[in-house]
Each structure stands twice: as C-alpha cells, then as structure tokens.
Chain A
C-alpha cells in the first residue's frame, strides 16, 4: 500500500491529452513539492517534473504538472507512442522524514 495514491492504469490515443492523478495528505503533498518520474520498460526512472510544475532540460513541454492542496496531476498532451511507460509521483513526507512514492500508473497508448 503506497502512501501516495495513483490510478494503476491510464490510456489514450495518439494526439490525445491524458492526465494522471496523485493523491496524498497534509504531511507530504500538502506541505512539500511533488515530483514525477517516467519509467520506460526495462529502464531506470527518469525525472520528468520537479517542484510541482518544472521541467528539467530536455523534457518536452507536452508534459506538465500541477498541484492543489493534497493532490497533484501530471498531464501529457499530444500523446505519442513513446510516452507508453510507467509514471510515478513522489513527495517528501514530513511525518515519515522520508520520500514516498505513488504506486505508479501504467500509461498505454492505444
């Protein structure tokens, strides 16, 4: 059981916009930044969004993040086949004094 809650799966067709939610609590998302990681099959996770809505250099602007209260979302617009991957949200948890992750969302591009 993950501290942060994500839907196990999401899907969309090429060109569509898809959103993935991440729900937490006041001790993690409610009081700290949210991060999103993309994990392509058989590879290590890659930082996709930091500080709720910032993109590292090289991440396309098709990816965007937002946060409100104790929830956050990752949006992917102009969906492409190469976006098919697992996506994880993460945040620091003040109560646990550690990082917590969501259970991951498997994105399928139909």
Chain B
C-alpha cells in the first residue's frame, strides 16, 4: 500500500521560501510512470493544484504560481520536494502531496498525504 507523508516547517516568515518534502513508502518513486503533485488548501477554501513532477524530472506548474515554484525528486530517498519562494500570508494553507496515476492511464490523484499546515507569519 503506497503512503505519502509531508514534512517541513509549519511556520515560514513572509518573503522567505517555503520548503516541503513528501516521503513515499510502499513503492519506489521511480518505478512506474507516475506524476507527483503538490496541492494546497487555505483554511475553509477549495483545492488549488500547485504543480507536478514526472519520474523523468519534467515538470508542470500552475501558471499563477510558476514564477515562485520549484519541484524536484530524490529517488535515493524516495522523496519529492516543493519550494515556494517569496511567500506571503496568502500562501498560508494545508499543503498536500499526491500521486497521479501513470501517464496515459488517467487515474487521477489516487494517493494523498495527510497534509501539513504551513502558516506564513512574522
């Protein structure tokens, strides 16, 4: 059974960079043709897709966040990561990592982490 777990600072100062890691267990992050995504949800609001990285390293980002987002994969640690720069209070949210089914299979986001709350405040 695949499991995802987010980790990282729960508090980030304005203008700094938010950094999160998603650790994948129950399967190799480099096996299969999966996409690995980050999705966030401000308190009481809806879901917003941030971006994804493919096992090859190719990426897609939400155009509204693209200038501030970087994702990467560390296959040796079975992890992928998110960096969001120049954060403001508007970036305060629960951040989820999720697996998207193999390229071409159109499974959607079939596995999710439990989410981690990141607050941007001085």
Contact = CB atoms under 8 A, between A and B. Distances in A.
A2 B52 CA distance: 19
Contacts of A45: 47, 96, 109, 112
B63 interface: yes
A47 B108 contact: yes
Contacts of B49: 90, 98-101
Contacts of B113: 44
Given A97-B60, A98-B49, A44 B112 contact: yes
Interface in A59-108: 88, 90, 96-104
Given A88-B47, A96-B63, A104-B47, A44 B106 contact: no
A42 B47 CA distance: 14
B46 A35 contact: no
Interface string A11-45: 00000000000000000000001010100000111
B60 to A, nearest CB: 6
Contact of A104 (B46, B101, B108, B115): B46
A101 to B, nearest CB: 5
B61 interface: yes
Q: How large is the interface on B (under 10, 10 to 19, 20 to 34, 35 or more residues)?
A: 20 to 34
Interface string B51-89: 110000000111100000000000000000000000000
Interface residues of A, number: 23
A98 B63 contact: yes
Nearest to B48: A101
Nearest to A86: B46
A71 to B, nearest CB: 18
Given A37-B47, A50-B108, A99-B49, 15 more contacts: A2-B46, A33-B106, A33-B108, A35-B109, A44-B96, A45-B47, A45-B109, A46-B112, A50-B110, A88-B46, A97-B60, A98-B63, A101-B47, A101-B48, A101-B49
19 contacts: A33-B106, A35-B108, A37-B47, A44-B96, A44-B112, A44-B115, A45-B47, A45-B112, A46-B112, A47-B110, A50-B107, A51-B106, A51-B107, A90-B47, A90-B49, A97-B63, A98-B51, A98-B61, A99-B37
